[in-house]
Structure 1
């Protein structure tokens, strides 16, 4: 007999998980991998199988790219902006209608707590509607020029072509939309390679694209392992790669792009500073700085994992943050009371617990957490306690390397110039936080930090209209905003002699 908890899990199991293997979506049709190979995706809360998924290989990538090219040169390439916009708006409505199912797929596949679903619904639908609006706002310019005679000069914007979208596992649905929506608004076609750890919601999204009237071949979804991603990044039929993931893989994609000098945009790793000044509102800053790194179990590229606290409030602040961390509810992500779910995989659990050991070995002091969760109901999953380290030095591994788990490394500082210098002493530059009541101080630090986003008295605020991206080894290019659309467009200049 099922327990009440098990029965609840069965009741929320999405219809997409019907027990049958999941296939590749190529040219509007579901297909097995040509090799016949499959991989298994697991529930990180239990370690149990969710589904077997067709494993795309290089030959499947060839088929998907060819389908995307045919669609680009076919009806989709001739479609008017109004009609592209209409399909994106229909897709937004479908995502909104089916969001509970999509969110549950992410909960089961990568451990995202259902408690965060309302905010994710708003963001997913907002992204689609924002880019739908931009679909009819693409335009060039008429440019006065200094050529002799009567020569007219203008520019037009054209889709860059076939886009390879390669995503990590830490936000399967949201990241898929973030890649697909602007590409479609610009008139491009897409081959999406989701992470093998969490392919389910991207596959379902591909199905919804077809239901929204997006023609076959415009959106292809090809889950697979590293060889599929490598084949896609290097493919001569791909005009642009849009990648989110680790800096190491991003560097490989840059090298792979050289074959046909394809366009590349990269949102890569981070080791973001979060700076708390003595005049900060601690009732706001303590939970804000805590969730800057603990949200999504720390599996966020821009997590504020390097915490700099001004010396006069350092001890009080860490005591309060440690208490906050101990009170966070870690558990079954299907439970609406859960605040932190599991890490995505055994591999990620091993990585994070390795850093927990390294912190102690290098002399940091564990103020909260620091262990794997071993309660009987959680022991089979990949759960780890939210962890606060004090007495951290800038040269420690936990202060230098991206952990991608719920681990914060706290360090004291004395003045503005010092904290700016230390914050920038990293190869990364994705995000940063500042907590202060002093506007002049906030602006000074904000301008001094080498980061693509600086949040003041908040953290991880995002909006479809506001660009997001990195400095230095955190990547280049921007997502969201008008700047994002430019990543998917070529500018052509046209000269016409009229007399």
Structure 2
């Protein structure tokens, strides 16, 4: 990345000297890097404290991506005030004009897809092809809501008074806090910000501190597309420094959050009685493999669902509940397919598994692998950190496969968020369903079978918001609702699709006599 000053976002080169902890964002930096600013009230500005933090490549911790504003509550107050001031005018703006801005921003993302994909791979670690697909999907998301938002309206109701009309109107809420994770750092924000904006809300956006650059690129696109000042505001920094005010400030009318269940529960407790919340949280997603299944397909789906994005997907396959009759054949194929996966830097050809997102994440995954071994599960493949050669500067872990896992073990109950799969043997479909449902999560689930009747029964029996047959647990259509059950969500408002617009509007019923 060049250090050339931007004419419109105020980026500049700086020298960083932070305490060395070898953690992304807390490392001694003695090289010149580009500094990126917050975006508040249509301007790129430094944090009030003038402090910054660093963003580091998880595949090569010597590669410093940039310095970003270490904001505090003063910055959040400024952003909320700007959004609150901008709300009345934006709410009155014609839907077609809002849509035009989203479409133009989509054009900008598409035009810069290669550049943004490269930056995304550097800061998050996923393969550059996957990164480009994410950027392009985000552009499609903006276009989807630009269209759908122009036809999302109220209803007219028949009544017995011939001289009266009764109808509903959908109105925007006001200022919305958007708090997003690092694993899909432009796709998830897009599916929250686009419906919020098209319905007339204003936004304060706090991205993950592990992936602030791609978030800035999304906001830059909206800025270049001509969005009025104050309508969208971006503030970077640690959640511990800014998170509470994003939830508790009286001007915040809604909070949309994707992240861990523990963080979601904290937000839910701190939000006021009148603050609307939408949360997509953790998962412990099962795949059931029946004895009539295509075993090669089942192994492929498991690898794709469990190890893509290095297992760092909320819908990732983390439990495989397999009929004992085919367990050994399935395990043999699964190990063979896993062994064939190339681990490495996301810019290398053929790489399927990149680094973990940060050192904290890597240590957590390694800790769970140790827990699995101590609990008595059999680690039949992988599970070790890679430190030799090109791996020495990154957070690389071999994907791990455990078998002979008991359903009560922690690795079968708790979200790991890494490339770790627990295989549980069962003797019947009924036993498989009981185990699949016996966790606190209910995000995504899949079954592999050629029995159509059984597949249909599974869609009824499983406790999950996303249910699949002969497909991976990962992935969802942008035009279909997405969300979980139990502790995977607040089970209130869904994201994605036309249903994703509902959260960002309130209904007013109007009676007009004439």
What band does the TM-score fall into relative to the shorter chain?
over 0.9
Q: CA deviation at 1:497?
A: 2.3
Corresponding position: 1:491 with 2:511: no
SS in 2 for 1:233: helix
| 1:114-153 matches, cutoff 5 A | 114-145=128-159, 150-153=163-166
Deviations 1:430-475 (A, max 9, x none): 0001111111111101111010001111122421111110101001
Q: Distance in 1 between matches of 2:481 and 2:91?
A: 27
Q: CA deviation at 1:301?
A: 0.8
Q: CA deviation at 1:122?
A: 4.1
SS in 1 for 2:34: coil
| Residue among 56, 68, 82 paired with 1:67 | 82
Deviations 1:404-455 (A, max 9, x none): 0000000111222211111110110000011111111111011110100011
Partner of 2:334: 321
Corresponding position: 1:221 with 2:239: no
Say if 1:170 and 1:317 are closer, same or farther in 2 by CA, change over 3 A: same
Corresponding position: 1:481 with 2:497: yes
Deviations 1:149-201 (A, max 9, x none): 84321100111111100011111111121111111111111111001111110
Q: CA deviation at 1:118?
A: 4.7
Q: CA deviation at 1:121?
A: 4.0
Q: Distance in 1 between matches of 2:447 and 2:12?
A: 43
Partner of 2:345: 332
Segment of structure 1 superposing worse, 242-251 or 453-462: 453-462
Partner of 2:413: 400
Structure richer in strand, relative to its length: 2
Partner of 1:171: 184
Partner of 1:201: 214
Partner of 1:231: 245
Q: Which runs of 4+ in 1 moved over 3 A?
A: 15-18, 148-151
CA contact (8 A) 1:82 1:135 kept: no
| Residue among 280, 295, 309 paired with 2:322 | 309
Q: Which runs of 5+ in 1 are unaligned?
A: 1-9
| 1:51-130 matches, cutoff 5 A | 51-74=66-89, 76-130=90-144
| Residue among 174, 189, 196 paired with 2:202 | 189
Deviations 1:304-337 (A, max 9, x none): 1011111110011011111111111110111132
Deviations 1:232-268 (A, max 9, x none): 011111110000000001011111112x521000000
Q: Distance in 2 between matches of 1:172 and 1:352?
A: 21
| 1:24-39 matches, cutoff 5 A | 24-39=38-53
Deviations 1:204-231 (A, max 9, x none): 1111101111112111111111221222
| Residue among 465, 478, 486 paired with 1:472 | 486
Q: Distance in 1 between matches of 2:349 and 2:244?
A: 38
Segment of structure 1 superposing worse, 414-423 or 291-300: 414-423
SS in 2 for 1:203: helix
CA contact (8 A) 2:295 2:329 kept: no
Say if 1:157 and 1:122 are closer, same or farther in 2 by CA, change over 3 A: same
Say if 1:118 and 1:267 are closer, same or farther in 2 by CA, change over 3 A: same
CA contact (8 A) 2:116 2:135 kept: no
Q: Distance in 2 between matches of 1:119 and 1:314?
A: 35
CA contact (8 A) 2:311 2:418 kept: yes
Under a length normalisation based on structure 2, what TM-score does the superposition of the two structures give? 0.91
SS in 2 for 1:21: strand
SS in 2 for 1:157: strand
CA contact (8 A) 2:356 2:396 kept: yes
Q: Distance in 2 between matches of 1:425 and 1:70?
A: 48
CA contact (8 A) 2:199 2:501 kept: yes
Under a length normalisation based on structure 1, what TM-score does the superposition of the two structures give? 0.94
CA contact (8 A) 2:444 2:467 kept: yes
SS in 1 for 2:343: coil
Segment of structure 1 superposing worse, 81-90 or 345-354: 81-90
Corresponding position: 1:254 with 2:280: no
Structure of greater relative contact order (alpha carbons < 8 Å, 6+ residues apart): 1
Number of paired residues? 485
| Residue among 327, 337, 359 paired with 2:372 | 359
User: What is the RMSD of the two structures over their aligned residues, measured on CA atoms?
Assistant: 1.8
Q: Which runs of 5+ in 2 are unaligned?
A: 14-32
SS in 1 for 2:126: coil
SS in 2 for 1:395: coil
CA contact (8 A) 2:117 2:132 kept: no
Q: Distance in 1 between matches of 2:141 and 2:476?
A: 11
SS in 2 for 1:339: strand
CA contact (8 A) 1:32 1:54 kept: yes
Corresponding position: 1:180 with 2:190: no
